[in-house]
Structure 1
């Protein structure tokens, strides 16, 4: 353990608190099985869907963007539209983000990209009977899926 001396009273208090926390942390972590720690970290990193697509839209798929956030694919059976929103795990200073949704034939893609503090999107696309490709990006890290959530009409083509 490295202990850095601070000249100020505040620095000394912070150093003492950090050292105390570090001294306690290994015992707590050692008692928790490795798989549980990994699952706990993954769950803590996942952003929650924020309802940005509006009422009637339910999450039908999602992809975690590392520890930065999650991209959500939603669908409304009332409108037949899909919606994508990219949500940050920890909102803060505006960073480059993207929410993108499309399908292959005919080639159509809708995208919301820019610098956002909390989320990118929503973007909507009527993709009844089609497979959709959807992506989210936060600060250069990308996640999403190609050709998923195919509608019932896709099988009839």
Structure 2
């Protein structure tokens, strides 16, 4: 899936998080003790994370065996389905992936080939969204933005 560079803007993220439900996505079931590795698969290690207020955490993982990054948003307290999202984007290659919908426990996984590139990533739970831009860029400082709708 291709994204334009403007997708990292707050308005675009909101549209991505709320309106771009993946057609074939299946709702994630309530799964206490879900981890990013259980969602993304074996070989993925957590390299970054950001809280979504007090609702949960978005995890950026990396698999050094295949060069892929994976993003997953996990709720602290699974329960009734709420709008959730997980997305990742590589500005240098204009490649990205996203998952959004009504989920009970987690959104994702969203994958992109990220080896050797800076990545932008984020997601949301209910009406709280977080985006991280310029992430994992060696000495460059990433920017984290949290907002509510």
- TM-score scaled by structure 2? 0.66
Partner of 2:123: 136
| CA shift for structure 1 position 48 | 6.8
In structure 2, C-alpha distance between the alignment counterparts of 1:50 and 1:61, rounded to whole Å = 11
| CA shift for structure 1 position 118 | 0.2
Partner of 2:25: none
Matched-pair contact (CA < 8 Å) for 1:133–1:147: yes
- Residue-by-residue CA offset, 1:4-54 (whole Å, 9 max, x unaligned): xxxxxxxxxxxxxxxxxxxxxxxxxxxxxxxxxxxxxxxxxxx97342111
In structure 2, C-alpha distance between the alignment counterparts of 1:103 and 1:140, rounded to whole Å = 25
Larger radius of gyration: 1
Equivalent of residue 102 in structure 1, options 89, 92, 96? 89
Q: Which ranges of structure 1 fall in alignment gaps of 5 or more residues? A: 1-46, 152-157
CA RMSD, 1 decimal: 1.6
| CA shift for structure 1 position 131 | 0.2
Structure 1: 4+ residue segments shifted above 4 A: none
Say whether residues 1:66 and 2:36 are aligned partners: no
| CA shift for structure 1 position 60 | 0.2
Query: Would the alpha carbon gap of residues 146 and 48 (structure 1) be closer, same or farther in structure 2, given more than 3 Å must change?
Result: farther
Say whether residues 1:125 and 2:119 are aligned partners: no
Higher helix residue share: 1
Equivalent of residue 49 in structure 1, options 35, 59, 68? 35
In structure 2, C-alpha distance between the alignment counterparts of 1:132 and 1:85, rounded to whole Å = 14
| CA shift for structure 1 position 142 | 1.0
Equivalent of residue 101 in structure 2, options 105, 114, 126? 114
In structure 2, C-alpha distance between the alignment counterparts of 1:98 and 1:77, rounded to whole Å = 24
Matched-pair contact (CA < 8 Å) for 1:48–1:70: no
Partner of 1:86: 73
Higher relative contact order (CA 8 A, sep 6+): 2
- TM-score scaled by structure 1? 0.63
Matched-pair contact (CA < 8 Å) for 1:70–1:136: no
